[in-house]
Amino acid sequence: MKILLKGTGASPGRAEGRVKVILQAEDVQNMREGDILVTCYTTPLLTTAILKARAIVTDEGGLMCHAAIIAREMGIPCVVGTHKATKLLKNGQKVMVDGDEGVVYVPE
């Protein structure tokens, strides 16, 4: 598999799905069940999107950030601190998030 992004693995596991880039709270309505949530950072305003997410990928954050804590509580993979996920990943793109290794791949 081709590595697209590296960050910090903040919640373990692997998940495959389609990217949904959420840059502002109004974009939450575009999130569908099973999408991969890609955002700069999470806040409680993104709760609706987070609850539908199969995994979370953020530009910012570390092991104790909101996205990491919520993902661990929900039992979904999370990669934080990629610095460029919202710029590199595109809506609808199929990816695999590896929360153990802190990597986002293009699945084969």
Q: Convert the pLDDT of each residue in 37-61 to its tens digit.
A: 999 999 999 999 999 999 999 999 9
- List the chain domain ranges: 2-106
Question: What is the per-residue burial (b if ≥16 Cβ within 10 Å, else e) of 25-50?
Answer: eeebeebeeebbbbbbebeeebeebb
Just list the catalytic residues: 66
Q: 3-class DSSP state for residue 56?
A: strand
For the segment 69-88, the average pLDDT, to the nearest whole number, is 98
2-106 CATH fold: Glucose Oxidase; domain 1 (3.50.30)
103-106/2-6 β-pairing? antiparallel
| Percentage of residues of the chain with pLDDT beyond 70 | 100
Of the ranges 14-18, 25-29, 100-104, which one carries the lowest mean pLDDT score? 25-29
Global pTM reads 0.97
Q: Is the pLDDT of residue 1 over 90?
A: no
d(CA 53, CA 47): 10
